[in-house]
Amino acid sequence: MTIKILTLFPEMFQPFLATSIIKRALEKNLINIEVIDLRQYSNDKHNHVDDTPYGGGKGMVIKVDVVKRALDANSSQMTKVLLTSPRGKTYKQNMANQLAKEEEILILCGHYEGFDERVLNYVDEEISIGDYVLTGGELAAMVIADSITRLQKGVLATGSFEDDSFQTGLLEYPQYTRPTIFEGMSVPSVLQNGNHEEIRKYRLYESLKLTYLRRPDLLVNYKLTKEEEKMLEKIKNESLQNE
């Protein structure tokens, strides 16, 4: 898979591409990430890519003709073109799962007061990583690229992400490691007894509990099994008793 990132600040991606899992994935050719400088597609001798907005107002707007030249040079019919934008669809794990199946993705990093609205004619989807505004779309592009990269075959060890928060529809259960006791706090005994069925039930219960208490909105569309229905009822009763 190839991820292309079209940006005004390519230098921001140098540490991102040279660190940890992303670096190893690139070295093993498990994914290809290309960072492209939008300024090289300006036809202005000063490499300007923006101009003042029609109708007046503060800030600068990125020009549609510059973006179109960049897209023509770096995309094809098989390329999924994304635009990072605070008004886009909120990015979630199911979107990462779908994007991870694409052959090629191009992420256009938003900046300044945004893009000329006509740019949307050449974009497949606008994506927001949350209800807040960043100085630019570079950080959002890194988030998207990271979430997609870790899903590629061979990037993580088998089974490493299947139980992650949001991957199953629930928040992930609590994790523990050595030391067994630290400042009076002990690892739950069920995780030490070697009974795999009891451990499975404990983890499922804790996932449901965390989701119910912290992100109940995730349960709205989550299809509960009979086992989970009983667990959730117990969790609700315990919550009422603790109020």
Q: Which residues are known catalytic residues? A: 86, 113, 150, 164
State the amino acid at position 172 in one-letter form: E
3 state DSSP class of 45: coil
- What are the two backbone dihedrals, phi and then psi, of residue 33, each rounded to the nearest 5 degrees? -120, 120
CA distance 102 to 36: 19
- How many alpha carbons lie under 13 Å from residue 150 in its C-beta half-sphere? 15
From start to end of 38-188, where are the E strands? Answer: 50-51, 61-62, 79-90, 104-108, 125-128, 181-182, 185-186
Q: Where are the alpha helices (DSSP H) in the chain?
A: 14-17, 20-27, 64-74, 93-99, 138-149, 196-214, 226-242
